[in-house]
Amino acid sequence: MTEEFHRIRRLPPYVFAEVNKAKAAARARGEDIIDLGMGNPDTPTPPHIVQKLVETVSDPRAHRYSVSRGIPGLRRALAGYYERRFNVKLDPETEVIATLGSKEGLANLASAITSPGDTILVPNPSYPIHQFGFIIAGASVRSIPATPDDEMLEALDRAVRHSVPKPTALIVNFPSNPTAYLADLDFYRKLVAFARKHEIWILSDLAYAEIYFGDKVPPSILEVPGAKDIAVEFTSLSKTYSMAGWRMGFAAGNPKLISALTRIKSYLDYGAFTPIQVAAVAALSGPQDCVAEIRDIYRKRRDVLIQGLHAAGWDVPSPEGSMFAWAPIPEPFRELGSVGFSKLLLREAGVAVAPGLGFGEHGEGFVRIGLVENTQRLRQACRSIRHFMTEHGGLAPTSQQAAPLPDEQPAHS
């Protein structure tokens, strides 16, 4: 009775626990911690979406059990979004299902399609559920490079030739969490051709589809002809409409995969609360100005953060998309590792970040920094980091130190 349960034994210690513990202790001492460690949107949900929730929740009929796969109007709204945004036609009855966020959908589909011992290909580093959803389901995970380029395609080819049994599924996530990489449609074409040739399922996580900052607009893998033969794609309202706590997501694509997810969910839940689903229809089908406004807020935050970190002597690449910066640990601190550096930064600068090791062993040497505070707080974080770097001899050359910060923005930005 003292032995750990089998599936729990397969899960490693929670890498973020040490930083979270230190963060809680600092707050208990009354310290002001700027928390950039969790991808938790802080901007308000657009008013028309909230109003639809309030309107619907006052109807007592909406308080009964809902529909596990999503009410018909919601599935039609998601299909409408795909046609507007990607020029992809979906059958709301057979190619769309609503989920309790994309994370729940990914984990339940992993359980639905996985046999013990299956080999699953997962980018490393990547969002933890991408590998642990399948590990919990009994699969073996093989890591591949996380970059959307020939390096990943060559690794996929080696994996097919040298894995026993042959891989059954592949996870991709662009714009990527944590690395912020973006893929283009040409890469997806190569990926789909490879997967069709080798009969491998593709699970695409497109949760950050609308958080991008330049002319490179994230495509959907379902735009590729023939993709629906082997691919399903997960999307979410969490970041697009600042609805993270609402837990509203979707899977769309291959009918066989959608059917498998539908069946397993029918045993596990009754779907999201109906008023939330109705409000989600308002989000997808209503005015979309709010999406561009939210994107602009993240762009302004990105500019303030990256320029401020450069001025502090920390050379961090500017992300093209997502709500994160993927930051290499500065040279003077690399021997600490990502967990040690995160704890030191928290203790001495009052800034919390996520250690890269939590996203896979190839995330070591990096930390993930979330754009989840307003520009005023981000400037404060950069000043604290600059002082921290100065104290430890990690300050950049004068030309970088003198880099001006962008003009002040309103506190909500």
H or E stretch including 102?
helix 101-113
Mean per-residue pLDDT over the chain, rounded: 92
pLDDT digits (tens, 9 = 90+) for 317-353: 999 999 999 999 999 999 999 999 999 999 999 999 9
How confident is the model over 210-221, as a mean pLDDT?
96
Instruction: Report the phi/psi class of residue 313: left, alpha or beta, with left for phi > 0 and alpha for psi in -120 to 50.
Output: left
Please give the Cα distance from 316 to 305 (Å, whole number).
9
pLDDT value of residue 8: 83
pLDDT at 355 over 90: yes
CA distances from 65 to 61, 71, 143, 271 (A): 10, 11, 40, 8
Hunting for tokens 């592949």 — which residue is that? 170
Decide if pLDDT at 410 tops 50.
no
pLDDT tops 70 at residue 400: no
Could you give the 3-state DSSP secondary structure of residue 201?
strand
Domains of the chain with bracketed CATH: 6-44+289-393 (3.90.1150.10), 47-287 (3.40.640.10)
The whole-number pLDDT of residue 394 equals: 60
Task: Please name which of 145, 143, 137 lies closest in space to residue 118, comparing C-alpha atoms.
Answer: 137
pLDDT tens, 52-111?
Answer: 999 999 999 999 999 899 999 999 999 999 999 999 999 999 999 999 999 999 999 999
Looking at residue 263, its amino acid is R
Give the tens place of pLDDT for each residue, 230-271: 999 999 999 999 999 999 999 999 999 999 999 999 999 999
pLDDT tops 70 at residue 172:
yes
As a whole-number percent, the residues of the chain with pLDDT over 90 amount to 85
DSSP H helical ranges for 120-218: 128-136, 150-162, 185-198
> Residue 398 has what pLDDT?
40
Would you say residue 3 has pLDDT above 80?
no
Distance from C-alpha of 97 to C-alpha of 81, rounded to nearest angstrom: 14
Q: How much is the pLDDT for 17?
A: 80
CA atoms of 39 and 370, how far apart (whole Å): 6
Q: Which residues contact 388 (CB under 8 A, 6 or more apart)?
A: 345, 348, 349
pLDDT at 411 over 70: no
Per-residue b or e along 198-219, where b marks 16 or more CB atoms closer than 10 Å to that residue's CB? bebbbbbbbbbbbbbbeeeebb
pLDDT mean over 300-319:
96
DSSP helix/strand/coil, 282: helix
Confidence of residue 151 (pLDDT cuts 50, 70, 90): very high
For residue 344, the model assigns a pLDDT of 95
* Percent of the chain scoring above 70 in pLDDT: 95
| Nearest of 290, 293, 333 to residue 314 by alpha carbon | 333
Token representation of residue 124: 């490393």
What integer pLDDT is reported at residue 72 of this predicted model?
A: 97
Number of Cβ within a 10 Å radius of residue 371: 25
Q: Say whether pLDDT at 395 is over 60.
A: no
| Side-chain-side CA neighbours of residue 236 (13 Å) | 25
Predicted confidence at residue 286, as pLDDT, reads 95
pLDDT band with cut points at 50, 70 and 90 for residue 412:
very low
Which of 112, 381, 103 minimizes the C-alpha distance to 234?
103
Q: Could you tell me which residues are beta bridge partners of residue 402?
A: none
Q: What is the pLDDT of residue 1?
A: 62
